[in-house]
Structure 1
Amino acid sequence: MNELDSVQIHFDNNSLWILNFSLAIVMFGVSLGISLNDFKRLLVQPKLVLIGVLSQFVLLPFFTYLLILLIKPQPSIALGMIMVAACPGGNISNFMTHLAKGNTALSVSLTAFATFLALFMTPFNFEFYGNLYKPTSEIIKSVELNPFELVKLVLLILGVPLFFGMFLRSKNEVFANKVSKILKPFSIILFVFIVVIAFVNNLDVFRNYIQHVLILGISHNALAIFLGLFVAKLFGLSFINQKTIAIETGIQNSGLGLLLIFTFFNGLGGMAIMAAFWGIWHIVSGLILALFWSKKSEKLIAC
């Protein structure tokens, strides 16, 4: 391993527990806005479901693997890319889609379905592609990653909050909406606060090594966005749905990726730096793209 692969991010057990809790709260807040109707709506339009799943859980991990084979980044960075690609869409994708004048209902439904599917697909894709590439498989073997423990953590962080949030909404939708309005901004602020504290505590690490992930992280994110756009266009979806699939594919739940990295890889240098950079950059790229599409839609309406 080179110097970057031996870099350890400073993140103690207390911070890890707080990250666990905040991410679970974020997911609970998101699930309060999800109902069984969201899943039923997708069953009415199975083509949209299949395209969304194909783009996010099949093609993105596969093309990430091809990009790694082509560029051959340092092993821990490559494993960070695989981790990000294996995660479901980020919970801010609904906001980005709304801003871009995409199909917000489809975005919410896909987020719900992707969160459910991630309980199985995130561990599978990470294990499969992580072990398929020899340099990253050596890292996985060195930490003796237990696939069962990986699945268990994903179930606890995504599955349990999803179940209880949807259950509360099914029992009292009015109350769930009120709680959601309070909980969503609070949980996001809490999560951002934790990330900022972690960034400040590791400022020297980021300053010294950010150049290793800057171009690669931007390129990887661009690949995800254009992949979603191309796949949706290839299957003849409307431009509104093309924007939605692109955003759902390009906005990844890097917070979950960071949690898994800190839990199983002790904040391994390149992995954590790549996931942390993704967490910042996909917000920037998503906002730029959403604002561009929003302005484009306004011009089309004006014409």
Structure 2
Amino acid sequence: MDDINQIPFNFDPRIGMIVGVMVGFLVFAVSLDLTWEKLLRVLKRPKAPTIGLVAQFGILPAIAFLTGLYLTDSPSIALGLLLVTCCPGGALSNYLTGVAHGDVATSISMTTISTLFSIVLTPLLVAFWASMNPSTHAVFQNISMDPQRVILTLLIMLVIPVTAGMILRAKRPITANLIRGTVRLIAGIIFAVIVAVLIGSNFKSLALLAPTALFPVLCTFVIAVGLGWGIGRLAGLMAAERRAVAIEVAFQNVALAIGLGIAFFPSLGGIVAVSILWGIVHLTLGFGLAIVWNRINL
């Protein structure tokens, strides 16, 4: 293990359990937007969402792999980049797309579909790309991951919330519409408090990790935004669709990344540090980017 993992992090097992439940709650809120009609609409007009999802799951993890391979000597930071970029889009992307005058329908469809696909793709992509880097492969070999625990974690954070959200939306659409905003707000506030507690209790450790982890995070995030926008432009998407794709590709579900990091890699401080730093970067730079796009038609 690299020296960075000797920096102590405090993860109370009870906090880890609460984080997992809150991640599931946030995923449930996102899944309330997922309807079969939207899936059919994507099939009828698949260009923008398909381009975005290919960039998000097909290209971005490869970029994170290269960043981890060449821009950091820490396996845990490289693994953290892979974990974040292999997660689906987060609910914040839908809000920022609206602020940026982007195509909100494209953003929501990408978030919901990527959340659905992530049940299978996130663990598979992390394992695949981690095996390609000798340093992260060595870390993976030294970590004991109980298959039953993996399945249970994915059930709590992804499978059950996605299924519950889709069923409620299908059976009680009026109820789903009424509670969607409130559920997102409550889950977001509670999760923000938990993240604040994690940052507060590990502030010194994060401060020590930031100089090493921040540059790879910034590089990967900026490339992700450029990737989404550039591939959308090359494909001839409208400006609003390009903005939606760019934001969706770069704005991952940080809550899920933090939850998975705490659940499976509690001894690797760099992984959770990358997830937290990615959240800080996409909150600050993301709002700035959305405001710029709000005023400039690009």
Question: Which TM bucket (shorter chain)?
Answer: over 0.9
- Quick check: 1:119–1:159 contact (8 Å CA) kept in 2? yes
- Quick check: 1:11–1:267 contact (8 Å CA) kept in 2? no
How is 1:210-289 mapped onto 2 (pairs within 5 angstroms)? 210-289=210-289
How far off its partner does 1:7 sit? 2.7
Per-residue CA distance 1:43-88 (angstroms, 9 max, x = gap): 0112223212210000000111122233243111111111111111
Per-residue CA distance 1:17-43 (angstroms, 9 max, x = gap): 110111111111222232221211110
CA distance in 1, matches of 2:5, 2:261: 13
CA distance in 1, matches of 2:54, 2:174: 35
CA distance in 2, matches of 1:139, 1:147: 17
| Secondary structure in structure 2 of the residue aligned to 1:88 | coil
Which amino acid is the alignment partner of residue 234 of structure 1? L
- Quick check: 1:41–1:109 contact (8 Å CA) kept in 2? no
Task: Evaluate the alpha carbon distance shift between residue 150 and residue 225 of structure 1 in structure 2; reply closer, same or farther with a 3 A threshold.
Answer: farther
How far off its partner does 1:228 sit? 0.8
How far off its partner does 1:8 sit? 3.9
Q: Which residue of 2 aligns with 1:160?
A: 160
1:290 and 2:290 correspond: yes
- Quick check: 2:261–2:271 contact (8 Å CA) kept in 1? yes
Which amino acid is the alignment partner of residue 200 of structure 1? G
CA distance in 1, matches of 2:224, 2:60: 6
| Of 33-42 and 149-158, the range deviating more from structure 2 | 149-158
| Secondary structure in structure 2 of the residue aligned to 1:92 | helix
- Quick check: 2:25–2:161 contact (8 Å CA) kept in 1? yes
Deviating above 4 A after TM superposition, structure 1's stretches of 4 or more consecutive aligned residues are 146-149
How far off its partner does 1:5 sit? 2.4
| Of 243-252 and 203-212, the range deviating more from structure 2 | 203-212
1:51 and 2:51 correspond: yes
Q: Which residue of 1 aligns with 2:186?
A: 186
Q: Which residue of 2 aligns with 1:100?
A: 100
- Quick check: 2:31–2:166 contact (8 Å CA) kept in 1? yes
CA distance in 2, matches of 1:274, 1:154: 21
| Secondary structure in structure 1 of the residue aligned to 2:125 | helix
- Quick check: 1:5–1:76 contact (8 Å CA) kept in 2? yes
Q: Which residue of 2 aligns with 1:6?
A: 6
How is 1:144-155 mapped onto 2 (pairs within 5 angstroms)? 144-146=144-146, 149-150=149-150, 152-155=152-155
Q: How many residues align?
A: 298
Which amino acid is the alignment partner of residue 283 of structure 2? I
How far off its partner does 1:221 sit? 0.7
How far off its partner does 1:146 sit? 4.8
CA distance in 1, matches of 2:240, 2:169: 28
How far off its partner does 1:267 sit? 4.6
Which amino acid is the alignment partner of residue 142 of structure 1? N
| Secondary structure in structure 1 of the residue aligned to 2:296 | helix
How is 1:132-151 mapped onto 2 (pairs within 5 angstroms)? 132-146=132-146, 149-150=149-150
Compute the TM-score of the two structures, normalised by the length of structure 2: 0.95
Per-residue CA distance 1:206-228 (angstroms, 9 max, x = gap): 12221111222111110111111
CA distance in 1, matches of 2:183, 2:11: 25
| Secondary structure in structure 1 of the residue aligned to 2:145 | coil
CA distance in 2, matches of 1:60, 1:214: 18
Q: Which residue of 2 aligns with 1:111?
A: 111
- Quick check: 1:38–1:112 contact (8 Å CA) kept in 2? no
| Secondary structure in structure 1 of the residue aligned to 2:91 | coil
1:68 and 2:68 correspond: yes
Which amino acid is the alignment partner of residue 254 of structure 1? V
- Quick check: 1:38–1:108 contact (8 Å CA) kept in 2? no
Task: Evaluate the alpha carbon distance shift between residue 44 and residue 155 of structure 1 in structure 2; reply closer, same or farther with a 3 A threshold.
Answer: farther
| Secondary structure in structure 2 of the residue aligned to 1:213 | helix
Compute the TM-score of the two structures, normalised by the length of structure 1: 0.94
CA distance in 2, matches of 1:128, 1:203: 32
1:172 and 2:157 correspond: no
Which amino acid is the alignment partner of residue 100 of structure 2? A
How far off its partner does 1:151 sit? 5.1
Any unmatched runs of 5+ in structure 1?
none
| Of 283-292 and 204-213, the range deviating more from structure 2 | 204-213
Any unmatched runs of 5+ in structure 2?
none
* Identity rate, percent: 30
